[in-house]
Structure 1
Amino acid sequence: MKPERAPDRRARLALSAATAVLAAGALVGGLAVTGAADPLPGGLGPCKPGKCPPTYPDINNDPVQWRDNAVNIFVGGDFLVREAAAEAEGKVVVLGGFDQAKREGVSQVYNVGVAGVGSRVVPDNDTAFLSVGGNVTVAAGQRLLTEEGTVTGKTVYAGTVTGTVIPDPVKDAAAVAPYTALRDELTAASRCYAYPKAGDSTPRTPTGTAVNNGSETVFTGDGTSALQVFNVDFDLESPSGGQQGISFANIPANATVLVNVLGDDRTIDSYIAGLPGLRDRLLWNFPDATRVKFEGTAQFAGSVLIGEQASTATITMPGMNGRFFTTGNLTHASEPGGGGGQEIHNYPFNGDLPSCDEDPTPTTPTPTTPTPTDTTPTPTEPTPTPTDTTPTPTEPTPTDTTPTPTEPTPTDTTPTPTEPTPTDTTPTPTEPTPSPTDSADGGATDGGMTDGGATDGGATDGGGSDGGGSDGGYGDDTGGSTGGDTGGDTGGYGDDTGGHHGPDGGGQLPETGAGTGKVVMGVTAAGLALGGGLLVAVSRRRRRRDGAA
């Protein structure tokens, strides 16, 4: 094989070094660019068509006209329905078991998928309103419904069914298969949002302050950042353990608000009737807690993420308005002996959250390590050509300073008749070269970057519906809307003589909250829910992801 000429080899080395510099620069730049903002894992959060509303309506009991096939409630463990809880609107996914055992004397119905009073944005008909990876257990005399009027969905389960489920549930061993990876992904995201450096317990740098002044917790932003970050290491309740207000100030229009609630046992006890303008862009993140309690008389606003898989979250607030994602267990209840009608309503999360695809502290070397100007040839090609006894300065032979001619005749002393040959045994090089320092040619190592993909949880269709009656609405002073077992439980927030959703042989108590006072859930509460005490409509985020889960 023909030896490579020195100029060609020097050019090749320079090109290799330059390529390494460009590759390293591209990698560093790529990390910087992708570390900006992402949705929740699996595309969770935004509305998934269906027929998404241009703006989500505030709480109402109007006829259903909009559809959202995204997961509204994700439970990594078990979902328990207790006391007098009433409804879970939107698509519900439970990796563990679903267990309904409400107390006697209240409505014995629990609705999933469609709520009589809520956003009234529900999944498409004949799809899985409730997907359960374990068993479905409904106490004797109670009913689990996934229908209301012309709206009808399915309960799909992988284990067994005990009790009454209407419409008939559908057994499917893969009922939650599209969602199983979400549990670990949500745990990792929750940690990343609160603690950006892997393995480091240093919280994310806040952009604002959160102060509990006793009667209210006030969040004050910096007024400019597109992502407003708050770190909270206390309970949002009064010093005596009672309810308090929650307010936000100095938040730019369209900013995402991330509240990291730190600690292993946290309570939010509030009476707020929404947070105007923030509901669709506010995430309450609990990365550490093994116990979380939402109590009081609030129509709470914003989405919730609980990252600890060994956790139990309990909701006794009358209304949760936003996505609810927990990797642990969820108990939906009222306070023991307290008023009923607790509901989780279907509202999206449209915020932009910190990217967690890459290590936030990458170790990729900077492009200063390559040496593109080092053109010293390597000592692996030292042999001069046979016809040239003069060493080339640009390719020294470090181990031999005396070139060896290939055909010397130092021992031939017999002269020829015409041209006598002198006995000259010492060739005379004209440019002897001293031994150069042995120099190795350094190359540049080009690292690669692994691009993590987003797992898109799909929706599992299932089937089923309840056969009749609206499970919601607002009752009047004579006891709420009347309902029976054959027509579905109806009614809404009743007064002292009735109950939420109407009784099945008994009404619900009117008081609600965490033992902090009574709220009459009749005309007064209807005014609170549909009037000034409800969420103010917010402009939806312009960003939608068609592939969202």
Structure 2
Amino acid sequence: MTVATAAAMVGMLAPAAAADPLPGGLGPCLGSGCPDVWNEPNNGPVAGYDENINIYVGGDFLVREAAAEAEGKIVTLGQFDMDKRDGVSQVYNVGIVGVGSRVAPPNGSDYLTVGGDVTVAAGERLLAEEGSNSGRVAYAGTLSGTVEPAGAPRPDPGATAPFTGLRPQLTEASRCYAYDGDAHRATTGDWERVGDTFTFTGDGTSAIQVFDVDTNLVSETNGNAGFTFTGIPAGATVLVNVYGDARTVATFMGALPNPGLRERLLWNFPDATDLTLSGPAQFQGSVLVGQPASTTTLTMSGTNGRFYTAGSLTHTSSGASGGQEIHAYPFDGDLPTCDPDADTDGSHADSDGPDSDADGSHSHADGSDADSHGPDPDADRSHSHADGSDADPHGPDAHADGPHPDADGPDADPHRPHSHPHGADPHPHRPHAGPHRPHADVEADPLPVPPG
């Protein structure tokens, strides 16, 4: 038995050289209303309240087709534009939703904050309430269309001013987590794809488990894929760096068997300017998209974790499917520490992102270059150290989530939290990253704490 195997069996962690949260205080649940336990998506009573940002969009937030709802506090620096297709529910819920973690922003707080215009198409409704729970829709531009409740709209020219600094921090953090200078960050494990399943195998000891993926996360036939994680010690953070300018994740992923992993799993896309997330999935873990010029098209049935993009987001559906949802779950992991002075030429913040390996090669766990002399001779298996040629970047349009539950949901929990000032640290043993702006370094960092 190897040391790594023994460590994995007892859940032993090798100490991290340095570990931090996401920049700006983003990630964990904030405030006195945070629940002790985060339940799987459900339509039960309200389970708690979270003051932190669940969805951050550096560009525009568009709602299209039959997308249904977005849970938790939402900030978009650009416009919020809702224009769904005919024949589906004409409601889009924000803040509090019918099915999700059932952890909402505090009652009366800003559920949605918009730096530009809010536009809701004729005959449609943007809904920021359920039962006795309701919030505000703050906006710096103009409002067109129906927002409910009647008291929700809150015009404010400076609505997003406290949040603008998060955008470059997320870009820099995304690059830092993925790169050491111009090279891919060293990994702690490997992955392989067999048929429609990706298996990520960690080293069994590292506190931050790092994986390098330079291909689309789709099945061998370009269909939906599943993801499993092994060799991950209890309490470890899993960082999956997905490289490439155009990427697709198509999945039927469901709940993870690894206890607590959802809250410590980050899918990082440092390079992508065109990202498609699709499939009949309840996608687990938080998402970070670093490029300000990016557009993410989200048609997954559900996502379960923080969703942070420096670019724009289109929440939509594909084909006859509908009811797509973004659910609120925290990110509590520790990430590589980033030194703001490590890269003095500013190249790390290039909005075009670094060039990815043209041959699609993958890194070994020891950080050595992969074989670039063609595909793996074992044609039915894709490995993290093989050529891993890309699947169709447009991916499949598979959705089988069925009808969306009643948008109005059940009666909300009448209990309200005693809110702490925004930014209070729910983990006092772990220092906030504060306003620091990360660059590439071999140590570890968290996501930012949102101001305001």
TM above 0.5, one fold? yes
- Correspondence 1:201-216 to 2 at 5 A: 202-216=183-197
Is 2:227 aligned against 1:246? Answer: yes
1:136 to 118, 132, 138: 118
- Residue 325 to residue 293, structure 1, CA distance change in 2 (3 Å): same
TM-aligned CA deviation for residue 315 of structure 1: 0.9
Partner residue of 2:274 out of 291, 309, 314? 291
SS across alignment from 1:238 = coil
Deviation, structure 1 residue 212? 2.0
> Within the alignment, does 1:160 sit opposite 2:142 as a pair?
yes
For residues 150-203 of structure 1, the C-alpha deviation after alignment (integer angstroms, 9 at most, x for no partner) is 110000000000100112411001101110000000000000000132xx2x00
Deviation digits for residues 14-54 of structure 1, max 9, x if unmatched? xxxxxxxxxxxxxxxxxxx9961111110100001141011
Structure with larger RCO (C-alpha < 8 A, sep 6+): 2
Question: Matched residue pairs, number?
Answer: 347
- SS of aligned partner of 2:19: coil
Shift of the 253–81 alpha-carbon distance from structure 1 to 2, 3 Å rule, reads same
Where 1:74 maps in the other structure, the secondary structure is strand
Counterpart contact for 1:69–1:124, Cα < 8 Å: yes
In structure 2, the gaps of 5 or more residues are 1-14, 345-394, 406-425, 435-448
Deviations 1:84-119 (A, max 9, x none): 000000000000000000000000000000011100
Q: Distance in 1 between matches of 2:191 and 2:140?
A: 44
2:69 and 2:246 map into 1 onto residues whose CA distance is 26
What does the per-residue CA deviation read over 1:268-306, in whole Å, with 9 as the maximum and x for residues that have no partner? 111111223210000000000001111110000000000
Question: Would the aligned equivalents of 1:50 and 1:123 in 2 still touch at CA under 8 Å?
Answer: no
Instruction: Indicate the residue corresponding to 2:238 in structure 1.
Output: 257
For 1:142 and 1:63, how far apart are their aligned partners in 2? Answer: 26
2:56 aligned residue: 74
Q: Map of 1:222-371 to 2, 5 A cutoff?
A: 222-276=203-257, 277=259, 278-335=261-318, 337-359=319-341
Q: CA deviation at 1:77?
A: 0.1
Give the letter aligned to residue 221 of structure 1: G
Deviation at 1:356, TM superposition (A): 1.1
Pair 133,361 (structure 1): closer, same or farther in 2 beyond 3 Å: closer
| Cα separation, 2, equivalents of 1:35 and 1:53 | 30
| CA distance in structure 2 between the aligned counterparts of 1:345 and 1:517, rounded to whole angstroms | 17
Q: Comparing 218-227 with 274-283, which one deviates more in the overlay?
A: 274-283
Is residue 23 of structure 2 the alignment partner of residue 41 of structure 1? yes
Change (3 A) 1:98 1:516: closer
Q: One-letter code of the match for 2:207?
A: A
Residue 157 of structure 2 corresponds to residue 176 of structure 1? no
What is the alpha-carbon distance in structure 1 between the residues aligned to residue 220 and residue 284 of structure 2? 22
1:359-438 to structure 2, matched below 5 A, reads 359=341
**Residues 516 and 75 from structure 1, CA distance in 2 versus in 1: closer, same or farther, beyond 3 angstroms?**
closer
Say which SS state the counterpart of residue 189 (structure 1) adopts. helix
1:190 to 169, 174, 191: 174
Whole-angstrom CA distance in 2 between matches of 1:61 and 1:545: 34
Shift of 1:516: 3.7
Report the Cα distance in structure 2 between the residues aligned to 1:85 and 1:288, rounded to whole angstroms: 26
| Native 8 Å contact 2:283 2:304 kept in 1 | yes
SS for the counterpart of 1:184 is helix
CA distance 1:39–1:519, change in 2 (3 Å) = closer
Alignment CA distance shift 1:518-1:126 (3 Å)? closer
| DSSP-derived class of the 2:171 partner | helix
CA contact (8 A) 2:177 2:185 kept: yes
State the SS of the aligned residue for 1:42. helix
Deviation by residue 1:177-236 (Cα, 9 ceiling, x = unmatched): 110000000000000000132xx2x00000001222231111000000000000100111
CA distance in 2, matches of 1:274, 1:355: 29
How many Å separate the matches in 2 of 1:522 and 1:73? 21
Asked if structure 1 preserves the Cα contact closer than 8 Å seen for 2:323 and 2:401, the reply is no
Structure 2 distance, partners of 1:543, 1:334, is 41
**Quick one: structure 1 residues 36 and 517, their matched pair in 2 at CA, closer, same or farther if it must change by over 3 Å?**
closer
Instruction: State the Cα distance separating 1:518 from its structure 2 match.
Output: 4.1
Match of 1:106 among 63, 88, 93: 88
Give the residue type in structure 1 aligned to 2:195.
G
Note the C-alpha offset of 1:358.
Answer: 4.1
What is the TM-score normalised by the length of structure 2? Answer: 0.73
Change (3 A) 1:180 1:522: closer
8 Å CA contact 2:322, 2:401 repeated in 1: no
Alpha-carbon shift at residue 59 of structure 1 (Å): 1.0
Q: Within 5 Å, give how 1:10-89 maps onto structure 2.
A: 36-89=18-71
C-alpha separation in 1, matches of 2:187 and 2:85: 43
- The aligned amino acid for 2:116 is G
Higher strand share: 2
Confirm or deny: 8 A CA contact 2:278 2:397 kept in the other structure. Answer: no
CA contact (8 A) 1:79 1:98 kept: yes
**C-alpha separation in 1, matches of 2:165 and 2:341:** 20
Label 1:318 to 1:517 Cα distance change in 2 as closer, same or farther (>3 A): closer
Measure the CA separation in 2 of the matches of 1:514 and 1:542: 44
Unaligned runs of 5+ in 1: 1-32, 363-512, 524-539
1:238 to partner: Cα distance = 1.5
Please report how far the alpha carbon of residue 244 of structure 1 lies from its aligned counterpart in structure 2 after TM superposition.
Answer: 1.3
Bigger-Rg structure (1/2): 1
How far is the alpha carbon of 1:542 from its aligned partner?
9.4
